[in-house]
Amino acid sequence: MCGRYTLVVDGAELWEELGLDGPPERVEARYNIAPTQLAPVVGWRQGAPRPRLVRMRWGLVPSWAEDAGVGSRMINARSETAAKKPAFRRALARRRCLVPATGFFEWKPEGGRKTPYLITPKGGGLVTLAGLWERWLTPAKERLFSYTILTRAACPELESLHSRMPVIISSEARDAWLDVANSGAEQLARLLSESAPSRGETIAPGLEGARNVFCLRRLTARVSSVKNDDVACLAPAEDAR
């Protein structure tokens, strides 16, 4: 599962890393992105030579939904079954996106309570999570753009925290993931399998074959509240006063 994540990156670096369309924009530092909030995602604009950055609401709202509230239950989609689910199958074929992140959170039961952990690539840097997006027409005839994050079975490094983790698309596979020409069942299965290890493997997904590439940091309870979105959310638990 992926229920919270971070994006703390300079706009110019993000544009260069992802080869985005248009001049670089300022990207607000986000230390605790939560469901139903707006956050940046990357996708192709029709007719554009390069992908662009847009803001969408986290929690996919299918085009046929009666109200937007359904999105709060669709923040994640299982990569193994997304092609069979009415809420996700069309988006998987036609509306794929990348969700830029610099880390994500999981909560581990410890001593009768859930302790938050921050998961980042060792050495820092950006990762791109596999996402799907949709557009929904509000009763006022306004368009709402929303997204979900695909998940898979956790790699061995993270199994002690949770049985699921976000699918991470490697830098080499980003263009192929966004290209809707790659929408055959075999093509999608290959993209997802190349970006995530099978159970028992020690190679972490999407990080160029490096081993033991995740850094886990135990945090204070501050990050557990969606009201908090500041650098203090990332403070190690041992630094708490």
pLDDT at position 210 over 80? no
User: What count of other Cβ atoms lies within 10 Å of the Cβ of residue 187?
Assistant: 13
Predicted confidence band of residue 209 (pLDDT cuts 50, 70, 90)? very low
Predicted confidence band of residue 100 (pLDDT cuts 50, 70, 90)? very high
**Better pLDDT: 201 or 103:** 103
| Token reading at 8 | 């703390």
**Better pLDDT: 27 or 45:** 27
pLDDT at position 110 over 50? yes
**Better pLDDT: 182 or 57:** 57
Question: E-strand spans in the chain?
Answer: 5-7, 30-33, 38-43, 52-58, 76-78, 96-101, 103-110, 113-121, 127-137, 143-153, 164-166, 168-169, 214-218
From the list 2, 97, 155, 233, the catalytic residue is 2
- Residues 167-180, mean pLDDT to the nearest whole number: 92
Predicted confidence band of residue 1 (pLDDT cuts 50, 70, 90)? confident
Q: Which helix (H) or strand (E) holds 238?
A: none
Look at residue 212 in the predicted model and tell me its pLDDT.
59
From the list 97, 106, 134, 233, the catalytic residue is 106
Q: Any residues with CB less than 8 A from the CB of 206 and at least 6 apart, and which?
A: 127, 128, 167, 168, 169, 170, 171, 173, 195, 196
Q: What is the pLDDT of residues 50-79, one digit of tens each?
A: 899 999 999 999 999 999 999 999 999 999
Predicted confidence band of residue 201 (pLDDT cuts 50, 70, 90)? very low
pLDDT at position 219 over 70? yes
- Residues 182-206, mean pLDDT to the nearest whole number: 63
pLDDT at position 200 over 70? no
pLDDT at position 206 over 60? no
**Better pLDDT: 47 or 84:** 84
DSSP state of 190: H
Min mean pLDDT across 113-117, 172-176, 187-191, 236-240 is at 236-240
Look at residue 26 in the predicted model and tell me its pLDDT.
93
* Catalytic residue status for 106: yes
Name all domains of the chain by residue range, CATH numbers in brackets: 5-239 (3.90.1680.10)
